[in-house]
Structure 1
Amino acid sequence: MNKTNNKLGIWMDHSNANLINLDSNKEMHSISSKFTSETKEDALHRSESLMHNKRQQMQEKFYKQIGSEILKFKHVLLFGPTNAKVELHNYLNKDLHFKNIKIDIESSGKMTDNEQVAFVKKHF
């Protein structure tokens, strides 16, 4: 696959990821985890272990979706308020497809879309 895009910023928490591609006209798009609070409530009513399994499956699906976007880039910045960025990084580290992609991790708080874009521009 030809990597035409060089840099991608991803602001994320456990439920959403905003992908910020500075090389694109459509600067930002989002990926959302399917593990919503309703799913959590529903699974919790059945059993705690079911809820954890469900969460893990959905988190993995969420990370896999983000990962498929990351594969198109050479340099990626993961940032956001939760440890989701570290979990994603650990998930990607297990997969050799990502070994040639430089991944930076930075902490940040909640941000508006414009602040996220500015953060990515400043980083790169």
Structure 2
Amino acid sequence: MKTQKNLGIWLDHSTANMIDLNSKKLSHSIASKFTFNIKEEALNRSESLMHNKRQQMLEAYYKKISDKILKYDRVLLFGPTNAKTELHNYLKEDLHFKDIKIDIEATDKMTENQQNAFVKLHFEGKSK
């Protein structure tokens, strides 16, 4: 039986920490380009422009994350905001992800060590 490739992703709408416990480097981050300054600039022009800009940038952010997920068998999405659910919905629309088992957990803000421990505990419990 081949070894399962597991990935934990702690995310909110600005940052995603990718945690692969089998990798030498424990985590890798992806940042959203939708910053406070971009939000303010778009909002000064119009509210609908700000919402459109936010949607476009979030979709690009989720695309970057999804490109990394393709290499894994099981993925845990966790974090304090609804970004994990939005990403899950984004992935469900793409057939490339149909064979990847995706779990979602709500958590508070966590340190990097807490995130690593949470992912390890989650996947240890799933392998039994």
> The TM-score by the shorter chain falls in which range?
over 0.9
Report the CA distance shift for 1:100/1:93 in structure 2 as closer, same or farther (over 3 A).
same
Report the CA distance shift for 1:109/1:64 in structure 2 as closer, same or farther (over 3 A).
same
Does the alignment pair 1:105 with 2:104? yes
Superposition TM-score, scaled by structure 1 size: 0.96
Match of 1:35 in 2: 34
Post-superposition Cα deviations, 1:92-123, rounded to whole Å, max 9, x if no partner, equal 00000000000000000000000000000000
Match of 1:81 in 2: 80
Does the alignment pair 1:14 with 2:23? no
- Equivalenced residue count is 122
Superposition TM-score, scaled by structure 2 size: 0.93
What are the ranges of 5 or more consecutive residues in structure 1 without an aligned counterpart?
none
What are the ranges of 5 or more consecutive residues in structure 2 without an aligned counterpart?
124-128
Q: Displacement, 1:11?
A: 0.2
Compute the RMSD of aligned alpha carbons: 1.3
1:21 partner letter: D
2:58 partner letter: Q
Match of 2:55 in 1: 56
